[in-house]
Amino acid sequence: MNYRTYAEFLPAGYLDGVRAPASTWWRWRDHRVHVARAVVPTAAVRVLVIHGGGGYSGALWPFAAVAAGQAVDVLAPDLPLYGDTEVADPAGVRYGDWVDLLADLVRAERAADPRPLIAFGASMGGMLAYEIAARTGAVDAVVATCLLDMADPAARAAATRYAWLGRPAPAVLNAAEPLFGRVRIPIRWVADMNKMSRDRRLSRLCASDPRGGGVSVPLGFLSSWMAFVHTRPEHYTGAPVTLVAPAADAWTPPELSIGFLQRITARAEVVLLERCGHFPIEEPGLTQLRDAMATVLSRVGAPTD
C-alpha cells in the first residue's frame, strides 16, 4: 500500500492536489529512519508531520498534504515499529524513543535549514508535537488533531479498546513489564481501530495495513506510553498550539483534548472540524483544517519588522 491507497478516501477534487512524497533516510542510533519528503526550496515554512499509533507517513500523507498546501516544504518520518523505518530490536522500542527521535530530528533539521518549522501531529502524534515543541524550543507552531494526555484516566479509557481496562492500565502494564515487556501484540488488540474513521472502509484499511494499524508493538512500549510524563500544560512555554479537533470523533472525543488545551499557559486555540471522525477526511471539516493550517502558516511565515 502507498499514499494513493489512502488518498482515494479524500473528497472529490482533492486528489489532484496531493504531491507524491520522496523517500529519504536518516540514521538515528541503531535505526534507519524513513522520512517521506516534499521538498520546496522556495517555501517560507516547513511542516513536520507526526503520525500516531495506527498510522505512518504514507497513511497521513494525503490529508497532511491537503492541509499544508502546495507551497510548503513537508517531511514525515516513520516512527520505529511503523512504516518503512528499519529497527534493530523492535521488541526494545519504547515511547521515550519516539520523543527522543523526534526531538533530535527537529534539532538536525533546524541546524541544516533555518526556515520556520510547524509540528503537525495527528492522533497520538499531537502530544508528540506538543512535547518536542516544549523540549527543543525549535518549533514555531504546533498543530494537533488530538491532545490526549495519558495522565488523565478519562483519556486512557478513550484510547484503549475497552474503557474499563484503560483506567488501571499503567499499574497493570508496569507490573507485567519485567517478564512480558518484550512480548509484541497487535496494536488493534488494545486500540479500537473500528473508530479510526467514520468511513468503515478506511477503518478496515488502517487496521489491516501491515505498516500501520496492522503492526505488533511490545507491551513495554504500551507501558512506557501510559506512564510517560509529558510537560505539564501549566508549565508549557513552547510555541503556540492550535488544536484542530475532529468534532465527530467517536474514538477520542474532542472535549478530552480541549480540556488539556485550556490548561496551556502559552497561546492556544481550538478549531472544531465539522463532521470529521478521528481520521479527518470529511467536509466541511477538511476545508476547515486547510484554512486553519493556512492561518498558522501565515503567522509563522510572516516577515518580522
Residue 183 lies in a domain: no
Exposure letters 61-71 (e unless 16+ CB within 10 A, then b): bbbbbbbbbee
Average pLDDT over residues 101-111: 98
* Number of domains present in the structure of the chain: 1
Boundaries of domain holding 93 = 3-149+230-301
> In sequence order, what DSSP letters do the residues of 193-216 get, joined into one string?
GGGS-SSHHHHHHHHH-TTTTT-E
| pTM more than 0.85 | yes
Reply yes or no on whether the pLDDT at 94 is more than 90.
yes
Question: How high does pLDDT run on average in the chain?
Answer: 91
CATH number at residue 131: 3.40.50.1820
For the segment 179-186, the average pLDDT, to the nearest whole number, is: 90
Asked if the structure places residue 121 within a domain, the reply is yes
Answer yes or no: is 189 within a domain.
no
> Is residue 142 domain-resident?
yes
Within a domain: 197:
no
Q: Is residue 174 part of a domain?
A: no
Residue 178 or 172, more confident: 178
CA distances from 171 to 166, 167, 220 (A): 10, 9, 12
- Quickly count helices (H) and strands (E) in the chain: 11, 11
Residue 44 lies in a domain: yes
How big is the chain, counted in residues? Answer: 305
111 in a domain, yes or no? Answer: yes
pLDDT of residue 162 exceeding 90: no
